Amino acid sequence: MTSDGYDVVAEAYANYFPGMGPEEPAELEALERFVAEVGEGGLVLDAGCGTGRVAEHVRSLGLRCVGVDLSPGMLAMARRDHPWLQTAVATITHLPIAAGSVDGVMFWFSTIHIDDRDLDRALLEAARVLRHGGAVIAGFQTGDGPREVGEGYREFGLDVRMLRYHRQVARMVERFEQAGLWVIESIDEPPTKEGGDGIGVVLGRL
Ligand SMILES: C[S@@+](CC[C@H](N)C(=O)[O-])C[C@H]1O[C@@H](n2cnc3c(N)ncnc32)[C@H](O)[C@@H]1O
């Protein structure tokens, strides 16, 4: 299971990626546009918040944030490194959040571990918990189909197996629209190094 995998890698993930170092400028700019859409002081749900590094980032840009994640190990790191962040163990396909109660939802590299059916569920859940006019952003690796990505961690002596679902940006745009989310912009960044992954970001509004 993916959450078990993240429990194994949680401490390494938190220590290697304490901040937004892995993000390309285009991704950071997209997050800034999301923050502007949400509005100063708005409340954001970080859906698949992991160790809390992105919650910390949007907090530094003026938002309030709460997080959910399936992995208790990742949330333990969020509590260690970002003790202000309120979190709950939950799946992004069934959010423990009241309807219309948040101004924004972030799926920052968290829909990458769910199949298309669950992606639709997660986006419908985002639409349910957002106030009217609220913003939603998804970041993900582009391409097609599931890949086994545990190898990257096994190099560090961490024995995990994880499937990652790569998706074309057009496909994500289509799924947003299907869930009733109006797409404001989408980004399709080619890989910056050989053998790397392309990155997609879709920003929408209810
Ligand atoms: C690549 S990490 C990204 C974490 C964080 N958003 C970041 O950018 O650092 C993927 C995260 O999604 C979480 N995740 C995977 N499937 C999930 C699901 N169905 N519900 C909630 N969280 C999930 C994992 O536990 C992990 O913390």
- pLDDT tens readout for residues 169-196: 999 999 999 999 999 999 999 998 887 8
- CA 6 to ligand 1 center in whole angstroms: 8
Q: Return the ligand 1 atom nearest residue 91 CA.
A: 20
Average pLDDT, the chain: 95
- Name the DSSP class of 50: T
pLDDT at 117 over 80: yes
Instruction: Give the residues surrounding ligand 1 with Cβ less than 6 Å away.
Output: 2-3, 6, 48-51, 53-54, 69-71, 74, 91-93, 108-110, 113-114
Q: State the Cα–Cα distance between residues 1 and 166, nearest whole angstrom.
A: 18
Give which of 161, 162, 168 is closest to 197, Cα–Cα. 168
Return the residue whose CA atom lies nearest to atom 18 of ligand 1. 91
pLDDT at 161 over 90: no
pLDDT (0 to 100) of residue 3: 64
pLDDT at 113 over 90: yes
End-to-end CA distance of the chain: 31
- Point out the least confidently predicted range of 7-16, 107-116, 121-130, 143-152: 143-152
What's the helix, strand, coil split of the chain in %, to 5?
40, 30, 35
Q: Which pair of tokens denotes residue 65?
A: 């944030």
E-strand ranges in 90-190 read: 102-108, 130-141, 145-148, 163-166, 182-189
- Mean pLDDT calculated for residue range 95-115: 97
Q: Which pair of tokens denotes residue 177?
A: 């629209």
Q: State the Cα–Cα distance between residues 162 and 152, nearest whole angstrom.
A: 10
Ligand 1, pocket-test mutation among 110, 136, 163, 201, most atoms within 8 A of CB = 110
Q: Regarding predicted confidence, which is higher, 146 or 156?
A: 146
pLDDT (0 to 100) of residue 114: 96
pLDDT (0 to 100) of residue 170: 98
- Mean pLDDT calculated for residue range 128-133: 98
Q: State the Cα–Cα distance between residues 179 and 174, nearest whole angstrom.
A: 9
pLDDT at 1 over 70: no
pLDDT at 149 over 80: yes
- For the stretch 59-99, pLDDT in tens is 999 999 999 999 999 999 999 999 999 999 999 999 999 99
Q: Return the ligand 1 atom nearest residue 110 CA.
A: 12
In terms of DSSP bridges, do strands 145-148 and 130-141 run parallel, antiparallel, or are they unpaired?
unpaired
